[in-house]
């Protein structure tokens, strides 16, 4: 039977809606009373696994789940051996360099060589500063990365930014962007190639649905633009 690994946290609701659109219902995971981490979808055609964000690519890489939904940021950081199939469009955020608003730095290249950069995304941060030929000391943190510059432990941070509110609350400003991130559909490469449990068909349905959603959004945005650009008196 098809098994899908879904991430706890910010991407869960959209992920569940995505699978609902093609007839696989894992909405029990959104029920606050639910304590099960493994459920059968209500049509009885697929298993859902609810795991930590970072664990989604592990379950897929080790073949325990055929498919998974995960942020591009995690794929960039962990580089798991999984097939990247569809950009799902939701969960938009960016990986950014931020510093204290009161600091003199206005771009990553302004940072002094051998300064400290705190991050949960050690590999992303390392690769970025290496691409700039700027040697820095990466401080690996697990949470509250914004404490780095506040306590004076680091000159800068590399972290995910969605709305920018956390940065603002901590008097930090973005000075550079490493990349944009969205949720991605990933698959176990061999399961996908061998079409185990009809996984290719499911992927095609998800791909079609996603492109329809994206096209729908573009039409809606164009309509809004037309309304805005057309003077009310016309």
Residue 86 vs 158, nearer CB to a copy of itself? 158
Q: Are 95 and 176 in contact (CB under 8 A)?
A: no
Least Å from the CB of residue 30 to a copy of itself: 17
Under rule CB under 8 A, residue 143 binds a copy of itself: yes
The Cα–Cα gap between 131 and 18 comes to 36
Q: Which is nearer to a copy of itself, 142 or 228 (CB)?
A: 142
> 227 exposed, middle or buried (CB, 10 Å; 0-12, 13-18, 19+)?
exposed
Among the listed residues 1, 30, 37, 223, the single contact to a copy of itself using CB under 8 A:
37
| Stated length of the chain | 234
Q: Which residue, 55 or 159, has its beta carbon nearer to a copy of itself? A: 55
From candidates 11, 24, 51, 175, binder to a copy of itself by CB under 8 A: 51
Using the minimum distance from each CB to a copy of itself, give the nearer residue, 28 or 87: 28
CA 100, 105, 106, 107: dihedral to nearest 10 degrees? -110
- Contact with a copy of itself (CB under 8 A): which of 49, 157, 158, 185? 49
The strand pairing partners of 48, in sequence order, are: 4, 39
Residue 87 region, left (φ>0) first, then alpha (ψ -120 to 50), else beta? beta
Taking CB under 8 A as the rule, does residue 142 contact a copy of itself? yes
Residue from 198, 25, 32, 104 nearest 16 by CA: 25
Question: In the window 109-138, what residues touch a copy of itself (CB under 8 A)?
Answer: 116
Q: Considering the complex, state which of residue 38 and residue 221 has its C-beta at the smaller distance from a copy of itself.
A: 38
Q: Which is nearer to a copy of itself, 20 or 53 (CB)?
A: 53
CB contact at 8 A, 89 and 214: yes
Contacts of residues 58-61 at CB distance under 8 Å and 24 or more positions apart, as own/partner, are 59/5, 60/5, 60/186, 60/187, 60/188, 61/188
Q: Which of 53, 103, 200, 205 binds a copy of itself (CB under 8 A)?
A: 53
Can you give the C-alpha Rg of the chain in angstroms? 21
Closest separation in Å from C-beta 206 to a copy of itself: 22
- State how far the Cα of 170 lies from the Cα of 39, in Å rounded to an integer: 40
Quick note: the x/- pattern for a copy of itself over 76-115, rule CB under 8 A, is: ----------------------------------------
The site for a copy of itself (CB under 8 A) is made up of 8, 37-38, 49, 51-55, 58-59, 62, 64, 116, 139-144, 147, 150-153
């Amino acid at each position: 039977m098809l098994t899908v690994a879904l991430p706890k946290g910010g991407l869960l609701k959209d992920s569940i809606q995505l699978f609902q659109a093609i007839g696989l219902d894992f909405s029990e995971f959104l029920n606050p009373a639910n304590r099960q981490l493994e459920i059968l979808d209500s049509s009885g055609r697929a298993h859902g696994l609810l795991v930590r964000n970072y664990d989604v690519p592990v379950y897929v890489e080790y073949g325990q789940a055929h498919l998974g939904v995960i942020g591009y940021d995690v794929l960039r950081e962990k580089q798991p051996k999984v097939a990247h199939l569809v950009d799902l469009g939701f969960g938009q955020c960016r990986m950014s360099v931020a510093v204290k608003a009161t600091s003199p730095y206005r771009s990553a290249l302004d940072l002094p060589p051998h300064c400290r950069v705190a991050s949960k995304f050690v590999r992303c941060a390392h690769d970025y500063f290496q691409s700039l030929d700027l040697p820095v000391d990466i401080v690996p943190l697990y949470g509250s990365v914004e404490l780095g510059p506040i306590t004076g432990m680091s000159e800068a941070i590399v972290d995910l930014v969605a709305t920018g509110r956390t940065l603002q609350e901590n008097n930090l400003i973005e000075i550079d962007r490493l990349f944009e991130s969205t949720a991605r559909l990933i698959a176990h490469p061999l399961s996908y190639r061998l079409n185990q449990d009809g996984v290719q068909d499911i992927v095609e349905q998800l791909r079609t649905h996603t492109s329809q959603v994206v096209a729908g959004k573009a039409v809606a945005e164009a309509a809004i633009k037309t309304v805005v650009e057309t003077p009310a008196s016309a």
